[in-house]
Amino acid sequence: MRDNYYPALKHISKIANSFFGFRKICNSIAKSTTKTVHGDACCISLLNPQKEYLITVGAYGLSDLYLRKGPLDARKSLPEILDGKIVFIADATKDERVQHPEMAEAQGISSILGIPILRKGEVIGEIRIYTREPEEFSEADKSFLLSVADICAILLEKGELYLLEKDYKTSKRQINPQVAQLPTNAPRPAFAHPSEEEFAKLLDFYSIEWLYEPRSFPLHWEKDEVAEMFTPDFYLPELDLYVELTTLRQSLITEKNRKVRHLKELYPQINIKLLNKNDYIHLLAKYGYWPLGETKVEGIDRVLYSHTQIQRRVRVLAKRISRDYAGKKPVLVGILKGVTCFMSDLMQHLSLPITLDFMAISYYTSDGQVVKITKDLDSSITGQDVLMVEDIVDTGMTLNYVLKHLSAHKPASLRICTLLDKRARRLIDIPLDYVGFEISDEFVVGYGLDYRGEYRNLSFIGILHPELIEKDERVHHLS
Ligand code: IMP
């Protein structure tokens, strides 16, 4: 039982009753609450009146990216809270009630405790406590959090008015973008122009989160009243970028240019781009989403994972591995040659001391030879923590053979990390500890993976044109 609840409650009620701004109060309560229950982060959210989504009004310990992930769908995300229940999620990266598990993983969030905020018996918001290590909360912690929720209930009622009136009508200050965001799964908005709908589809195709007209920026004031506003068409939270689309009509472009210039002067921290169709295709290419040029590689049917998507996933895996091996010095073992790109990127993102070793094995041929090791490890792994890094696990036969060999050297521990998992084709079931992407039964190349020794140098992972693969070829034993 912690003995700090009373001083914390005293502090929180004092802040709640202070003359600070609404957001500062909420952030401060989030901080105090986190520390009191020994959590790592906290988020206080307000439920919209239709009980569809949650808007963050105060937070502590969460990165900007996490906070900009957009409002949470109230029904999808921990729905029991809507029934006034306390919810505990032991593993946020795996629980399907967590709406952005990849974000939770990237933040290193392990468990989440959700507390409803009730006003006169009705749920109007929630408090979430996040921890990096799996944490059990005591009944006393929960009772403390319910008291904080009661204080928040009074605040949030006021807060709703604040958000509606103060921010939009008279304030010339920055409005936090998340305040005005639409729920991510809201019905598709009525787009003002077909080009906007097309752009939204393109973003969906590349799984880029977007918000349509999420925020209006006052540009001119007359006697403290807003006389002119500018509402960019899109906001892309992942890239922290506002996008205004233009048609090719010169008169409109000139007018929009003027507005965008003015916006940048008034709000220098805002990242905004004015785009026509050609521009936005090139913009996506720059961020690695658009397969411009990529699909032009002869023999490639389509791009499965762009370079950017791979990099993002590798960083998430590296973060998990760094956390799991904290205080240790693992040996990373790769099998040549397919793993080279993945190994190179993965190890650069590990915040651990590591050593590196490689093995090579003979390829399958139809001449009756059995598999053999053509290059063994350079150093002994006995008593070491070994992380076996693979490009792809297909039937599991290669991995099974290599694991037997490695286990015979009696390492202290042996785990497996693979970038791709073609689970549908598995013959030997081996538990995988870290998986980048699970893929369907298609032959992929690029980012180290080859077909007949080629395509390894592509920066993305693409699906090989099926016609290229001769029917009777045993393609899964090529590298
Ligand atoms: P397994 O023994 O069937 O699990 O096959 C593993 C090895 O086959 C991998 O290390 C790859 O070298 C190769 N492989 C399997 N599927 C593919 C693929 O789709 N593209 C390229 N190589 C593959």
Atom 14, ligand 1: residue with shortest CA distance = 476
Residue 420: phi and psi, rounded to 5, are -120, 145
Rounded mean pLDDT, 438-457: 91
Domains (range + CATH), the chain: 5-170 (3.30.450.40), 194-296 (3.40.960), 304-478 (3.40.50.2020)
pLDDT of 29-66, one tens digit each?
Answer: 999 999 999 888 899 988 877 777 777 788 888 776 56
Give 393 Cα–ligand 1 centroid separation in angstroms: 6
Rounded mean pLDDT, 177-203: 58
**Residue to probe by mutation, ligand 1, list 423, 468, 478, most atoms within 8 Å of CB:** 478
Q: Which of 380, 386, 448, 455 has the alpha carbon at shortest distance from 416?
A: 386
Res. 397 pLDDT band, cuts 50 70 90: confident
Q: Which residue has the higher pLDDT, 134 or 459?
A: 459
Res. 385 pLDDT band, cuts 50 70 90: very high
Which pLDDT value is given to residue 286?
54
**C-alpha–C-alpha distance, residues 261 and 73, integer Å:** 35
Which of 259-263, 350-354, 438-442, 464-468 has maximum average pLDDT? 350-354
Give 288 Cα–ligand 1 centroid separation in angstroms: 25
Query: Is 35 exposed, middle or buried, given 0-12, 13-18 or 19+ CB atoms closer than 10 A?
Result: middle
Residue 394 annotated to the active site: yes
Rounded mean pLDDT, 372-392: 95
Atom 20, ligand 1: residue with shortest CA distance = 444
Of 233, 345, 391, 394, the catalytic one is: 394
Determine which helix (DSSP H) or strand (DSSP E) holds 300, and give its type and residue range.
Answer: strand 300-305
Which of 57-66, 100-109, 228-237, 312-321 has maximum average pLDDT? 312-321
Please give the mean pLDDT across all residues of the chain: 80
Which pLDDT value is given to residue 177?
34
Q: Is the pLDDT of residue 187 over 50?
A: no
Which residues on neighbouring strands pair with residue 385, listed in sequence order? 413
Ligand 1 atom at shortest distance from the alpha carbon of 339: 10
- Which of 216-230, 423-437, 445-459 bottoms out in mean pLDDT, i.e. has the lowest? 216-230
Atom 15, ligand 1: residue with shortest CA distance = 476
pLDDT of 265-291, one tens digit each?
Answer: 888 878 888 887 667 666 665 555 544
Give 320 Cα–ligand 1 centroid separation in angstroms: 24
- Which of 171-175, 239-243, 315-319, 383-387 bottoms out in mean pLDDT, i.e. has the lowest? 171-175
Which pLDDT value is given to residue 478?
42
**Residue to probe by mutation, ligand 1, list 342, 371, 394, most atoms within 8 Å of CB:** 394
Which residue's structure tokens are 């042996």? Answer: 414
Which pLDDT value is given to residue 24?
77
Atom 19, ligand 1: residue with shortest CA distance = 443
Ligand 1 atom at shortest distance from the alpha carbon of 451: 21
**Residue to probe by mutation, ligand 1, list 392, 421, 465, most atoms within 8 Å of CB:** 392
**C-alpha–C-alpha distance, residues 369 and 152, integer Å:** 71
Q: Is the pLDDT of residue 173 over 60?
A: no
Name residues contacting ligand 1 (CB within 6 A). Answer: 338, 391-399, 422, 443-445, 449, 476-479
Res. 110 pLDDT band, cuts 50 70 90: confident
Q: Which of 126, 93, 113 has the alpha carbon at shortest distance from 37?
A: 113
Which pLDDT value is given to residue 296?
59
Cβ density class 186-197: b for 16+ within 10 Å, e for less: eeeeebeeebbe
pLDDT of 250-272, one tens digit each?
Answer: 777 788 888 899 988 888 878 88
Which residues on neighbouring strands pair with residue 211, listed in sequence order? 235
Q: Which residue has the higher pLDDT, 45 or 348?
A: 348
Give 11 Cα–ligand 1 centroid separation in angstroms: 59
Give 421 Cα–ligand 1 centroid separation in angstroms: 10
Which pLDDT value is given to residue 283?
63
- Which of 17-21, 66-70, 106-110 bottoms out in mean pLDDT, i.e. has the lowest? 66-70
Rounded mean pLDDT, 202-212: 69
Res. 186 pLDDT band, cuts 50 70 90: very low
Which pLDDT value is given to residue 18?
75
Question: In one letter, which amino acid is 6?
Answer: Y
Which pLDDT value is given to residue 169?
39
Give 443 Cα–ligand 1 centroid separation in angstroms: 9
Q: Which residue has the higher pLDDT, 332 or 296?
A: 332
Rounded mean pLDDT, 60-78: 69
Q: Is the pLDDT of residue 477 over 50?
A: no
**C-alpha–C-alpha distance, residues 160 and 155, integer Å:** 9
Res. 246 pLDDT band, cuts 50 70 90: confident
Which residue's structure tokens are 């507005």? Answer: 259
Rounded mean pLDDT, 414-433: 91
Rounded mean pLDDT, 131-154: 90
CB 360 within 8 A of CB 384: no
Cα-based distances in Å from 20 to 29, 151, 155, 171, 179: 12, 15, 12, 16, 19
pLDDT more than 70, % of the chain: 78
Cβ density class 116-128: b for 16+ within 10 Å, e for less: bbbeeeebbbbbb
